[in-house]
């Protein structure tokens, strides 16, 4: 059998609850085709409050040695002053995305059979958001002066490089070209953010010439939120920047059955660093510790991980099992472990 050397960062809140189910599904799905070893890293808000450590260089070096990372979610209590300013989000999650050059944040959305959308007439929803992962307003290029005074000035500068936009847009076109609908929608705000918008638009126009079979569309981000609710079937491959992509993918999750189903991959397509797979949702402190979290998003993230590493059959077993589970889930409310167990039974009986 081949070998899969996995790093696991379960994190905070519901992170460990959903990751436990995802790992069990993964182990069952690979059967005896892949020998899996997992190394758990205790990281997150809770670990920081205990140890003062967020993510040190030695841990980064160890993480870099793994083939892939399965990530749960991080983030502590909402109003904890010791966690103010997103130090865990920046010092852990964004640090990993930046250091491991996860420039593609891949977030697929589909309304699977059996799943009820909050939209009355959702139509055929099957699209993928190719979100930029290493640039935009996330890089921390900014600062504030006269903080706390009436003359405070606070800047967050969105960084968009020709290199960063081009590699993301190329990945977007390759993604669109491989999908049946072959349609790419650039989402931006070129009517206001014209410097960055110009770079994104020109890049899309230029790369489009290499993909004549892909239809190209453009939407301002505000209008994109309209269509995501009124006509989500119009989307196939959405290419967008880091912040727009963050917001759009929570909306995409909501219309396609809920945040508990939305999986994602932070991909380093060059393979120089391990890619990292995680549910789109966060640590959900409001429901943590009560077995209320839906582990499906984490389980589907494990499937994306397997798919990324070429374990296509094992990945397919997970998605088939999840689809079967969703198809007759009904209205009954199940606990985290009940959902995990039901999906495992499906994997076993495939």
**261/254 Cα distance (integer angstroms):** 9
Q: Has 246 been annotated as catalytic?
A: yes
Round the CA-based radius of gyration of the chain to a whole number and report it.
20
Helix (H, G, I), strand (E, B) or coil at 31: coil
Structure tokens at 34: 């892949």
Helix (H, G, I), strand (E, B) or coil at 43: coil
CB 303 within 8 A of CB 315: yes
Structure tokens at 211: 């993909």
Considering the complex, state which of residue 10 and residue 199 has its C-beta at the smaller distance from ligand NAD. Answer: 10
Helix (H, G, I), strand (E, B) or coil at 252: helix
Catalytic residue among 138, 218, 236, 325: 138
Task: Write down the least CB distance from residue 245 to Mn ion, Å.
Answer: 9
Our measurement of the distance from residue 182's CA atom to the centroid of its chain's CA atoms, rounded to an integer in Å, reads: 22
Task: Write down the least CB distance from residue 90 to ligand IPM, Å.
Answer: 7
Sign of the CA dihedral 349, 8, 283, 94?
negative
**203/201 Cα distance (integer angstroms):** 5
Interface pick for ligand NAD out of 5, 38, 89, 166 (rule CB under 6 A): 89
Q: Has 41 been annotated as catalytic?
A: no
Structure tokens at 49: 């409050």
Q: Phi-psi bin for 299: left (phi > 0), alpha (psi -120 to 50), beta? A: alpha
Whether residue 286 is annotated as binding a ligand: the answer is: yes
Considering the complex, state which of residue 49 and residue 87 has its C-beta at the smaller distance from ligand IPM. Answer: 87
The verdict on 49 binding ligand NAD (CB under 6 A) reads no
Chain residues 92-111 in contact with ligand IPM, contact rule CB under 6 A: 93-94
Q: Spell out, one character per residue from 245 to 264, where the chain touches ligand IPM: x when CB under 6 A holds, - when not.
A: -x------------------
Considering the complex, state which of residue 89 and residue 313 has its C-beta at the smaller distance from ligand IPM. Answer: 89
Q: Among 124-132, 229-237, 244-252, 254-262, which window interacts with Mn ion (CB under 5 A)?
A: 244-252
The verdict on 68 binding ligand NAD (CB under 6 A) reads no
Whether residue 97 is annotated as binding a ligand: the answer is: yes
The verdict on 73 binding ligand NAD (CB under 6 A) reads yes
Catalytic residue among 41, 101, 126, 189: 189
Q: Spell out, one character per residue from 274 to 313, where the chain touches ligand NAD: x when CB under 6 A holds, - when not.
A: ----x--xxxxxxx-----xx--x----------------
CB 276 within 8 A of CB 96: yes
Whether residue 346 is annotated as binding a ligand: the answer is: no
Residues near Mn ion (CB under 5 A) = 246
Active site residue ranges = 138, 189, 222, 246, 250
Binding residues: 97, 107, 131, 222, 246, 250, 282-294
């Amino acid at each position: 059998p081949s070998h899969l050397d996995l790093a696991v960062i379960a994190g905070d809140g519901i992170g460990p609850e959903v990751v436990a189910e995802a790992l069990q599904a993964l182990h069952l799905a690979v059967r005896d085709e892949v020998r899996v070893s997992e190394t758990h890293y205790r990281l997150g808000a809770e670990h920081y409050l205990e140890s003062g450590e967020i993510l040190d260089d030695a841990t980064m070096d160890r993480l870099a040695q793994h083939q892939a990372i399965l990530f749960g979610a991080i983030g502590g209590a909402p109003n904890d002053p010791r966690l103010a300013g997103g130090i865990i989000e920046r010092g852990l999650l964004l640090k990993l995305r930046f250091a491991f050059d996860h420039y593609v944040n891949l977030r697929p959305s589909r309304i699977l059979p059996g799943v009820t959308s909050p939209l009355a007439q959702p139509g055929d929803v099957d699209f993928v958001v190719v979100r930029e992962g290493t640039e935009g307003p996330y890089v921390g290029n900014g600062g504030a002066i006269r903080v706390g005074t009436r003359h405070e000035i606070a800047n967050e500068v969105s960084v968009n490089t020709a290199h960063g936009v081009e590699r993301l847009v190329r990945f977007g076109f390759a993604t669109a070209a491989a999908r049946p609908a072959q349609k790419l929608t650039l989402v931006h705000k070129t009517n206001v953010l014209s410097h960055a918008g110009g770079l994104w638009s020109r890049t899309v126009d230029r790369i489009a010439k290499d993909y004549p079979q892909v239809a190209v569309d453009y939407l301002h981000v505000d209008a994109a939120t309209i269509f995501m609710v009124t006509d989500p079937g119009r989307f196939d491959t959405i290419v967008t920047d880091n912040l727009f992509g963050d917001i759009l993918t929570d909306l995409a999750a909501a219309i396609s059955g809920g945040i508990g189903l939305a999986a994602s991959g932070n991909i380093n397509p060059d393979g120089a660093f391990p890619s990292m797979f995680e549910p789109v949702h966060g640590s959900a402190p409001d429901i943590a510790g009560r077995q209320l979290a839906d582990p499906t998003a984490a389980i589907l993230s494990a499937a994306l991980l397997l798919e990324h590493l070429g374990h296509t059959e094992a990945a397919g077993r997970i998605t088939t099992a999840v689809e079967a589970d969703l198809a007759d889930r009904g209205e009954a409310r199940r606990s985290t472990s009940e959902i995990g167990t039901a999906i495992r039974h499906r994997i076993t009986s495939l």
